[in-house]
Structure 1
Amino acid sequence: MKRSVQTAGLGLVLGLGLVPVAGEAMAQSCTQKIGAVLPISVDWGRPIAETAKFVVEQVNSAGGVAGCNIELVLRDDQTDPKVGVDAAKALVDIDQVPVLLGSVSSGVSMPILTSVTVPGKVMQMSCCSSSTAFTKLAEQGKTEGLWFRTFATSRVQAAVGAMVARDKGYKSVAILYKNDDWGQDIGKIVAANLEKLGIKVTAQVALNDAQPSYRAEVTEALAGQPDAVYLALYPTEGTAAVREWLSLGGTQNMILTNSLKSDDFRKNVGIEYLGNAVGTDTASPRTPSAEAFVTRYVEKFGSQPNGPGLANSYDATMIALLAMQAAGKDAKGPQIAAMVAKVTDPKGTPVTADAAGFAEAAKILAGGGTVLYQGATGNVKFDANGDVSAPAVVWSFTNEGTKEDTYIPLEEVDAFVASMK
């Protein structure tokens, strides 16, 4: 995965954690701010932020939202819940944004949702948080209809991880997971799926942030001599844990979540040790709209959108801005959230996910119509809890980055998930 072109636009301002983004069309007489809390200080987080900025540029070139230029105020959460909450509070209290994009980590998005956006009546749209805890919260009415995500829940990756273990013939698997909302969630689900397939789970071990060593945790996971290890970790602790794992004689048979689809992880562990490692991720459907996103992305950044969450970031940003357009000038979070259904209406007029599509959508919405947004992840459709479903892929590392090994259609994913319940 090439990062140099993707990250070129951030430069020194990343150190401040604040990036105002101006669009190409500056003729508008007003400006509307939206906020984003994303992990721009990590290698896979920066392209997610750049993708959101790209959407804002296109929307501004199409005339902005309700006649106003959009300014994206971007803050770094450093994948730290406290930092993320503080950043979100500043965006809501000081910048008074009606919409907040973010975050990536479920462990950061959850406290932002419960302590900042819901109390502040701000719509929150995440590209990448997958914990099923959000679904439970929505079912209880505690998100107040303000929460949406364009990334499928952890059930998809957990299902595909179990599929991989089954197809490779592993009889036993140890699980190492990050000790946060996301890691606990996906670790529990994949363990249940593996056991339903008759695969023994020899250990489920949580890893905390910023420990000087993970030797004790890795030793515990190795005790059962598993055929493979499932890693639901981020690159920093993932690198440290895998180094310990290999140094203590652990197998190179690894199943990775998409959070380890990272240049830093690949380089710091060493490609020579990752030959038997396979990863899982959600995927865009094989549709013209998804292919069009790839073309636009390559034209903009000069490389393929191979990193995690890029298509999801694109759609999260575009849908949020379309909902703002539908809600009208000076609309508040609840009004904007109520318009999401109007811009993702299966019976609406199809619109493309670019500047021309946004301009067309604005005209249709102004005339009282609805639109069907056809985006980077296909025709996005949210359920009552703000969730989506998605196809999946199995991937592996190469010397240059990653490659797709297997594409699993939505119908097959949904059928397997249903069979695990």
Structure 2
Amino acid sequence: MKTLLTVAAFAAGVSALSTGAQAQDCTTKIGATLPTSVDWGRPIAEVAQFAVDQVNEAGGAGGCQIEMVLRDTQVDPKVGVDAAKALVDLEGVNVLLGAVSSGVSMPILSSVTVPGGVMQMSCCSSSTAFTKLSEEGKTDGLWFRTFATTAVQSAMGAKVAADKGYGSVAILYKNDDWGQDMARLIAADFAAAGIKVTSSVAVNDGQPSYRAEVTKALGGEPEALYLALYPNEGTSAVREWLSLGGTQNMILANSLKSDEFRDNVGLQYLGNALGTDTASPRVASADAFKAAYVEKFGSEPNGPGLANSFDAAMIALLAMEAVGKDASGKDIAAAVAKVTDPDGTPVTADVAGFKKASETLAGGGTVKYQGATGDVRFDANGDVSAPAVVWKFTDSGVDEVEYLSLGEVDAFIASLKK
């Protein structure tokens, strides 16, 4: 991979020299609001920068080199909004990558990017509230996400419970847009699968103790616990749960796919825990991303949202390439369809693929992007579908327990509605 990228970079340099080095004469900024102050957030930002680096090796986007200006959201809505405002008002970005948490992405969308006419591309926000907002015409076509909605994770949580034979489940969920959406969906899916929900308890950030919430969740003597939390409050809640005699039968949302959570709780207490997540399809482009990631970072991409972050950045940059320098956020958003066209010219998610896309777009053609999560297709609301995976913690990270294709995911979701 290093050799390939080096050769591609050299080729890009030769091309730039022959055309007057147009891409080197200007720089275009894009913004990123991502939670770099938490351990699972830093790799998401690093992968976005990796995509930017490859595009710059290919000559940049829209005739300019790309600078990704990164701001930490701290998984806090107010901090995230302030960061986004600074990027839009002070840095002048027309593209914003982020955020991760739906509870941060939503206020950024409603108070910053839509009013400012900025395209927002999230790697990881999954709340179905965004779908509703788009259906109501309140996103102005500026919202996209490369992560499937909470409906997929919710259904997979119900499948895990059914497969394990759990008759009753308690729910602990983060008290924000994402957590509330997850709690609503998972309760309905558990019920559809014939599993009793003994309680559904909201958990707020930053509390010194979660004993009251955990005690309430234990009240119905559930056979298992479903957790839609982030690592900080998840760690505290699980410690309380176990100290009060709660079961080790746990089902985890992808937000807890974190070494920090595993280490702070203790692997010995997570032997019966199973997590769910969306997954990359079993296709060559996903394998190529994994190989490139290993080459770049020295380990496999085990954290949440990494493939999705790469695709979010790369698709946004392809759309910028399609419309050229100084395009508006609305123009860039409209061009997303040109670079994710099922009938377009297939391009890979690397330096060579971006150069091929540039040539195709310059000739009036469209592009079929094949990336880390496969052939990305957005619907009218900026949503995508995805396969799913069930995982468990190990000493070195996570292992896959079960993979479900997109067809299998759709079939199980349909079975819950019968």
Q: How far off its partner does 1:401 sit?
A: 1.2
Please point out which of 179, 185, 195 is paired with 1:189: 185
* Equivalent residue number for residue 9 of structure 2: none
Aligned residues: 398
| 1:271 pairs with 2:267 | yes
TM normalised by structure 2 equals: 0.94
Percent of aligned pairs sharing the same letter: 75
What is the CA deviation profile of residues 225-266 of structure 1, one whole-angstrom value per residue up to 9, with x for unaligned ones?
000000000000000000000000000000000100011100
Matched position secondary structure for 2:403 = strand
* Equivalent residue number for residue 206 of structure 1: 202
What letter matches 1:279 in structure 2? G
Please point out which of 106, 110, 113 is paired with 1:114: 110
Matched position secondary structure for 1:209 = coil
* Equivalent residue number for residue 4 of structure 2: none
Partners of 2:385 and 2:134 in 1: CA distance: 16
* Equivalent residue number for residue 174 of structure 2: 178
* 1:375-394 → structure 2 map (5 Å cutoff): 375-394=371-390
Partners of 1:392 and 1:297 in 2: CA distance: 21
Q: How far off its partner does 1:400 sit?
A: 1.4
| 1:137 pairs with 2:133 | yes
Partners of 1:157 and 1:307 in 2: CA distance: 16
Partners of 1:153 and 1:349 in 2: CA distance: 28
Partners of 1:66 and 1:266 in 2: CA distance: 43
* Equivalent residue number for residue 73 of structure 1: 69
Q: How far off its partner does 1:413 sit?
A: 0.5
| 1:123 pairs with 2:119 | yes
Matched position secondary structure for 2:51 = helix
* Equivalent residue number for residue 313 of structure 1: 309
Matched position secondary structure for 1:82 = helix
What letter matches 1:82 in structure 2? K
Partners of 1:401 and 1:273 in 2: CA distance: 15
Partners of 2:133 and 2:415 in 1: CA distance: 24
Please point out which of 377, 399, 410 is paired with 1:403: 399
Unaligned runs of 5+ in 2: 1-11
Partners of 2:390 and 2:155 in 1: CA distance: 11
Partners of 2:302 and 2:86 in 1: CA distance: 32
Partners of 2:194 and 2:348 in 1: CA distance: 45
Q: How far off its partner does 1:417 sit?
A: 1.7
- Higher helix residue share: 2
* 1:219-368 → structure 2 map (5 Å cutoff): 219-368=215-364
* Equivalent residue number for residue 369 of structure 2: 373
Matched position secondary structure for 1:339 = helix
* Equivalent residue number for residue 6 of structure 2: none
Partners of 2:288 and 2:277 in 1: CA distance: 20
Q: How far off its partner does 1:419 sit?
A: 2.8
What letter matches 2:319 in structure 1? A
Q: How far off its partner does 1:415 sit?
A: 1.6
Unaligned runs of 5+ in 1: 1-23
CA RMSD of aligned residues (A): 1.0
Q: Is the 8 A contact 2:63 2:324 kept in 1?
A: no
* Equivalent residue number for residue 146 of structure 1: 142
Q: Is the 8 A contact 2:127 2:178 kept in 1?
A: yes
* Equivalent residue number for residue 3 of structure 1: none
* Equivalent residue number for residue 9 of structure 1: none
The list of structure 1 runs, each at least 4 consecutive aligned residues, that deviate by more than 2 angstroms after superposition, is 24-27, 418-421
What letter matches 1:111 in structure 2? P
* Equivalent residue number for residue 21 of structure 1: none
Q: How far off its partner does 1:418 sit?
A: 2.5
